Amino acid sequence: MKHITTQNPSHIPDSVSLASEAVLVETWDSGVLAGILRRKSQSGESPTFLLLGRREAALLRSHLAAAFGEEAVVTLKGTYYMGLEVVEIDFPEFFHTGGIKRPPRLSGLSGGGSARAGMDSGSIWRLQLE
């Protein structure tokens, strides 16, 4: 009997196909992320996720613990930093922003309506890593 192995492509980046956008040395540097966000925003992209390896996640936790106390940042799950959802991935070192925020379509809104009202519940959201 022949054994067939199917390859299931992962949607999680790896350190070979997707390079880090920055290398943090000893401490968390908000300026590095701000620079990346400025550059991407100028080209019309606005990332939605901040993907961090174990080392970078530890640096961010230390940075946030200094401001809010260690008990406030036991985990980064559900954390937003500079408008990005923090996603900790299982790589030793990794720093990348991903996804694209698109402004909601404002057409069809009459005066006084919120931008959110123009979005239907069937909207499809997609994570696009670059």
The stretch 60-68 carries a mean pLDDT of 95
Q: What is the pLDDT of residue 19?
A: 82
Q: Whose CA is closest to 51, among 5, 19, 10, 4? A: 19
0.85 cut: is pTM over it? no
17-60 residue pLDDT tens: 678 899 998 999 999 999 999 988 887 778 999 999 999 999 99
The stretch 82-88 carries a mean pLDDT of 94
Q: How confident is the model at residue 10 (pLDDT cuts 50, 70, 90)?
A: very low
Measured CA to CA, the distance from residue 49 to residue 128 in angstroms comes to 10
- Give the domain ranges of the chain: 30-100
